[in-house]
Structure 1
Amino acid sequence: MSDLPSPAAPGSATPAGDDAVLAATRHWLTRAVIGLNLCPFAKGVHVKGQIRYAISAARTAPEVLDDLERELKLLAEADPEQVDTTLLIVPHALNEFLEYNDFLYFAERLLASLGLDGTLQIASFHPEYQFAGSEPDDVENCTNRSPYPILHLLREDSIARAAEAFPDAADIYERNQETMRRLGLAGWHEWMREPSGD
């Protein structure tokens, strides 16, 4: 697994490949998540450089789980002023959404087994993300669609502080769905084609 901006770990993907993965992920973050205000908490940690981008070289689910364990431990031990949140990006595995969705069960079990349930949280993003009860082409799914499968590791304390700063945090899901409905699929694709300016 390689990790940016920290030094790459042994067994990482090629630097050129990592650069492309990182560029696509940062574009998605700045253009969609921040640009459309899908998460009002994201801009602060982005501007402060407190997001850790960890690019997994894993090609199987068990290998992803190993990387996830390492990243959970690293985040739990890190100074929040340096690393507040982690995006574990998985470009070579879990490409099918159903497989990814099944993997989340094991991810949550791992979180609990490490004694980090209640300290850290895992949010999910995937290129084929589909909410329960939705159709694959429903534009609302785009709120959680990322260029690669991503496991977003967050601190519970940071979520609590952000929720205090944004009293309407409970309405984020509904607001995001409405944003997507206003854009429509064509509007979403056009929005994402534009440069992020980051």
Structure 2
Amino acid sequence: MNEEAEPIVATRRWLDRAVIGLNLCPFAKAVAAKGQVRYVLSEATTPEALLEELAYELVRLQQTEPDEVDTTLLIHPKVLTDFLDYNDFLDDADAAIEALELEGELQVASFHPDYQFADTDYDDVGNCSNRSPYPMLHLLRESSVERAVAAFPDPDAIVERNLATLEKLGIEGWRKLLQP
């Protein structure tokens, strides 16, 4: 894997400036600081090839000690660039977890440059909470999520705080934040 490839560089910048810098995910800082985030740049050009890679990465994460790799970011700039196609693919990702018998152990979180929550306008700044520089599947350990949520006094407040942070920043501020 080329750690200097633009999609990885942009994703690291997004993680540092937005996710950690704006504290959109209060659990991200610790795993990033410990070097427990695995960045994978997919060369897949079809959903089928991406699904194979996803299955491989799910098994790899499951078989790797959490103190070595706690989470994986599978960045796929050449496939599922259309958000609706990407969103449909998430059902396949869930099916892969089930087929690999990893339900309750691993999950996939979704991030996309054009992420749009239901019943929002495209430019609603709240969508930025799930916008990444490139289409990405975030592979997480359920046990890590449970520990992090248990340690956070009010996990439901995260969403509200994120919306307030993003509204204060604005869509133009978001775009500037991610510039090289």
TM range (shorter): over 0.9
Aligned-pair distance for 1:192?
Answer: 2.5
What aligned pairs does 1:151-170 form with structure 2 within 5 A after superposition?
Answer: 151-170=137-156
User: Residue type matched to 1:52 in 2?
Assistant: R
- Give the equivalent residue in structure 2 for 1:185: 171
Q: How many residues align?
A: 180
Matched, 1:20 2:6: yes
Aligned-pair distance for 1:22?
Answer: 1.0
Q: Equivalents in 2 of 1:171, 1:120: separation in Å? A: 24
Q: Equivalents in 1 of 2:173, 2:150: separation in Å? A: 32
Q: What RMSD over aligned residues (CA atoms) do the two structures have, in Å?
A: 1.3
What SS does structure 2 have at the residue aligned with 1:53?
strand
After TM superposition, the score normalised by the length of structure 2 is 0.96
After TM superposition, the score normalised by the length of structure 1 is 0.87
Structure 1 unaligned blocks of 5 or more: 3-14
Matched, 1:38 2:24: yes
Aligned-pair distance for 1:190?
Answer: 2.5
What SS does structure 2 have at the residue aligned with 1:169?
coil
Structure 2 unaligned blocks of 5 or more: none
- Give the equivalent residue in structure 2 for 1:98: 84
User: Residue type matched to 1:40 in 2?
Assistant: P
Q: Equivalents in 2 of 1:62, 1:190: separation in Å? A: 34
- Which of 22, 39, 45 aligns to 1:53? It is 39
Report 1 or 2 for greater relative contact order, CA contacts < 8 Å, sequence distance ≥ 6.
2
User: Residue type matched to 1:19 in 2?
Assistant: A
Q: Equivalents in 1 of 2:56, 2:40: separation in Å? A: 10
